[in-house]
A and B are shown apart, each in its own frame.
Chain A
Amino acid sequence: MLLRKHEPSFSGTGSGNPGLLLSQEHKRVGGLMLSRTAQHLYWIGRYMERAEFTSRLVEATIRLSALGDHEASEQAWRSALAVVGSASAFAASGETFSPAGVRRYLTLSEDNASAVRSCISAARDNARAARTALTVEVWEAINRTWLVIRDRTKPGGVQASLNLVDSLKAEIRGFEGALARMLRSEGSWFMQLGAAIERGDNTARLLDVKYYLLLPPGQSVGGALDRDQWSTLLQIVSAKTAYRHIYSGPLKPWRVADFLIFRDEMPRSLAASADETVTLLSAFAGRSGRQGPADRIARKRLDRIEALDIGTIVQNGLHEWLHAYISDNAALDQAIARQFRFG
């Protein structure tokens, strides 16, 4: 599985970027944002999104694990580790495999840079460093989220984890609300851009790990466990009822894949995330009067998705397509970092 990306160390060096001189018009547009500030904001967006996704993953896996027998439960937690690309890191951590162990690893482990607690801590560090670019509301929302999880070192029972996830989800919604009330300019755009890139990455990983459910190799489908698996998958992306609104009838593998890839009404679909990325990058271009490689990559990606359908993807291999998507998304992340001169 592809490893998840983390923020490069804060201390950037004077990159070899020649830099462009700015015209007078430019200065008048208002404050020019520091590249470092932009990087902090972008990673606030990514880490808050990752924290929420992982929280939902834990919540849904607890549910799935409760529905099946011992073996099904272990399987559920193994696939949760796979979704976040942490299977080998977990094995290397020396912790013995158990549902409670994985639960701790995904939520609180200090050894896991993608654990919910680590993500929120990283988001808060970035927020502290970019404090002058944030509104009080956004800062407080991030800080409150941190306070929910700061003093937690042990996961406690399953119910404690569910309570923690509930509180975190509420605080992260508060963060999103505060973000929506920020001035519509570079400050909020960078956080939204980070969130959009992260969201695409997460949904693609989720689909990739569960693809054997969507495309079962020959066995009969539609048993009770499969239905649970699918509804769990939808629960992770908070789309269980949304699916019902769009498709009538029982859960169908193709439809779930279609839903999570193509339906742009669905905020966590790949199409929606690709579309949001293009829109946000255009907003920057609207301010600066310039486009860059990131704009072109994002636009091309959206065009490609719009020209595709689920039948074609499945024919050519969903797994391969998702892998390519994750790699393209990472390339776009790199292009954004270069275009805005992150450290």
Chain B
Amino acid sequence: MAQGRPFDELWGASRDRTPRADFEAVAAWLADLTPAELLRRQQAAEAAFRSLGITFAVYGDEEAAERIIPFDIIPRIFTAREWASLSAGLEQRVHAINLFIDDVYGARKIIADGFIPADIVLGNSQYCIPVAGARPPHGVYAHICGIDLVRTGPDDFCVLEDNARTPSGVSYMLENREAMLRLCPELFDALPVEPVDSYPELLRETLQSVSPGRGDACCVLLTPGHFNSAFYEHSFLADNMGIELVEGTDLEVDDDFVWMRTIHGRKRVDVIYRRIDDAFLDPLVFDPQSALGVPGLMAAYRAGNVTLVNAPGTGIADDKAIYSYMPEIVRYYTGEEPRLPNVETFRCREKTALQHVLDNLDKLVVKLVDGSGGYGMLVGPAATRKQLDEFRAALKAEPERYIAQPTLALSTVPTFTEAGLAPRHVDFRPFVLTGANGIRIVPGGLTRVALREGSLVVNSSQGGGTKDSFVLAPEEAGPEDMQFLDKQADG
């Protein structure tokens, strides 16, 4: 594992706070800020977010007031070169994810060709049988992916998780930028920051593009309702896209078509951006207790009369067991080497990998393939002898249920803390849109920061916060444009 201090997004590996190339302007900005001014800005940020936060808080339940995610004003910055390379990698990966899902619910060639074991796909709890054989309009399944990335060195980005179901958090990308524009306008003068505000428009175009037919598609956003903790994001996106925000009871299926009930009659719905899980989509097919979904929706989907965004069954692509095969999946479908590597992952179902894991248990993170939210997880370096022994026994008994990964030295970004500026670990979630109109990525995303010293946990429930994520514009504009302007002035 990486020794010594982790890579810092601003200072690189330098020990004397020399900024990385391209980051001089940011370093100068930070240097200009006295501790008092920094404190003032951070407090202004908190005040601004509290007033914005009213909008965050009032939508959730009463405790939501306390769950406003902390925001740090020092941005995380990508150079144009870094972004170009990242976005090429993201495109490649998401392209492969869509081809993979299409294949496993269709011809299953990747299994027949022996690149992935059949039981990992077909025996997976995420494999959605009702979807098999039903190809969605335009063959796109994962229209919106939130790919979680971490960085461990100057050129070392890797994918931690592919969120291909209903990734959330994009409203923070947009609201954080609003806050930064208000609080640190001078930073946008000093840096050529790419805007992110086109996201709702791009998303709307993506939804339109995957309509099952008809020219002017009626798109809606399906929310579990106003008591859901993410309702703010749902209403924010629907509002900014200018589409209707609907609940399950607003929709009905008649003769395999989906309709929404309006005050002047019913109106046909073509595309549903659904923010409810597969299990709740249709009580006739999935959980019969679900009151959130729409009876008959899956029949309409299978008949090709409505597009669901994302398609049901995309969980097969972001499962932890499948994750370990992502490099093979990318190679298989694109014929290229993966541009974005995985975190090194040991599949305990394989004998040599299992032996390595057992021999190095105290250095590794062990995860249940179907676990989430930190359950069924062992963090080797922090574990007690008893926990290690328990996992050793469990691994030997059911090795196929586990994967293991090294503990990572996540990169850091200077962050405002009570003791002044200090490095804090971050990850990054960009949002990748795939439609019939191609793959598009807004230059930005959600940077999560672990606010506790030394912590690697960026989760908001465990002391995590967010930062704005700047992507710098390429600087090719320079000299030629100036000449052009000179000529104009002359003429």
Interface residues of chain A, those whose CB is within 8 Å of chain B, are 10-15, 17, 19-22, 26-27, 31-36, 38, 125, 128-129, 131-132, 143, 186, 284, 288, 290, 340-341, 343
Residues of chain A within 8 A (CB-CB) of B317 are none
Residues of chain A within 8 A (CB-CB) of B262 are 32-35, 341
When the two chains form their complex, are residues A33 and B263 in contact, meaning their CB atoms are under 8 A apart? Answer: yes
8 A Cβ contacts from B240-266 to A: 244-247, 249-250, 252, 259-266
When the two chains form their complex, are residues B249 and A11 in contact, meaning their CB atoms are under 8 A apart? Answer: yes
Residues of chain B within 8 A (CB-CB) of A21 are 265-266
Task: Identify which of A26, A129, A288 gathers the most chain B CB atoms within 10 Å of its CB.
Answer: A129
When the two chains form their complex, are residues B58 and A128 in contact, meaning their CB atoms are under 8 A apart? Answer: yes
Number of interface residues of B (CB under 8 A): 27
When the two chains form their complex, are residues A129 and B259 in contact, meaning their CB atoms are under 8 A apart? Answer: no
Residues of chain B within 8 A (CB-CB) of A14 are 249, 252, 261
When the two chains form their complex, are residues A132 and B235 in contact, meaning their CB atoms are under 8 A apart? Answer: yes
Residues of chain A within 8 A (CB-CB) of B252 are 14
When the two chains form their complex, are residues B263 and A340 in contact, meaning their CB atoms are under 8 A apart? Answer: yes
When the two chains form their complex, are residues A36 and B58 in contact, meaning their CB atoms are under 8 A apart? Answer: no
When the two chains form their complex, are residues A20 and B266 in contact, meaning their CB atoms are under 8 A apart? Answer: yes
- Known contacts A20-B264, A128-B58, A131-B59; A343/B249 CB under 8 A: yes
B12 to chain A, nearest CB (A): 44
When the two chains form their complex, are residues B267 and A32 in contact, meaning their CB atoms are under 8 A apart? Answer: yes
> What are 6 A-B interface contacts by the 8 Å CB criterion?
A22-B266, A32-B267, A36-B250, A36-B261, A341-B265, A343-B249
**In the complex, A296 Cα to B435 Cα: how many Å?**
49
When the two chains form their complex, are residues A20 and B265 in contact, meaning their CB atoms are under 8 A apart? Answer: yes
Chain B residue with the shortest CB-CB distance to A40: B226
Residues of chain B within 8 A (CB-CB) of A35 are 250, 261-263
**Is the contact region of chain B dominated by helix, strand, or loop, or is it mixed?**
mixed
When the two chains form their complex, are residues B265 and A19 in contact, meaning their CB atoms are under 8 A apart? Answer: yes
- Known contacts A34-B261, A128-B58, A128-B226; A19/B249 CB under 8 A: no
**In the complex, A46 Cα to B484 Cα: how many Å?**
64
Residues of chain A within 8 A (CB-CB) of B245 are 132
When the two chains form their complex, are residues A19 and B250 in contact, meaning their CB atoms are under 8 A apart? Answer: no
When the two chains form their complex, are residues A341 and B263 in contact, meaning their CB atoms are under 8 A apart? Answer: yes
A31 to chain B, nearest CB (A): 7
**In the complex, A186 Cα to B412 Cα: how many Å?**
51
**In the complex, A186 Cα to B264 Cα: how many Å?**
11
A4 to chain B, nearest CB (A): 25
Residues of chain A within 8 A (CB-CB) of B247 are 36
Indicate whether B432 reaches chain A with its CB closer than 8 angstroms: no
**In the complex, A34 Cα to B247 Cα: how many Å?**
10
Residues of chain A within 8 A (CB-CB) of B246 are 34, 36
When the two chains form their complex, are residues B266 and A129 in contact, meaning their CB atoms are under 8 A apart? Answer: no
8 A Cβ contacts from B418-460 to A: none
B265-281 vs A, Cβ < 8 Å mask (1 yes, 0 no): 11100000000000000
When the two chains form their complex, are residues A34 and B250 in contact, meaning their CB atoms are under 8 A apart? Answer: yes
Task: Identify which of B59, B250, B266, B291 gathers the most chain A CB atoms within 10 Å of its CB.
Answer: B266
A185 to chain B, nearest CB (A): 12
When the two chains form their complex, are residues A34 and B264 in contact, meaning their CB atoms are under 8 A apart? Answer: no
**In the complex, A131 Cα to B236 Cα: how many Å?**
10
**In the complex, A290 Cα to B267 Cα: how many Å?**
17
A177 to chain B, nearest CB (A): 20
- Known contacts A11-B291, A143-B58; A32/B263 CB under 8 A: yes
Indicate whether B239 reaches chain A with its CB closer than 8 angstroms: yes
Please pick, from A20, A128, A340, the residue contacting B59 in the complex, using a CB distance under 8 A: A128
When the two chains form their complex, are residues A34 and B235 in contact, meaning their CB atoms are under 8 A apart? Answer: no
**In the complex, A128 Cα to B252 Cα: how many Å?**
23
Please pick, from B226, B231, B235, B264, the residue contacting A288 in the complex, using a CB distance under 8 A: B264
Indicate whether B361 reaches chain A with its CB closer than 8 angstroms: no
Residues of chain A within 8 A (CB-CB) of B265 are 19-22, 341
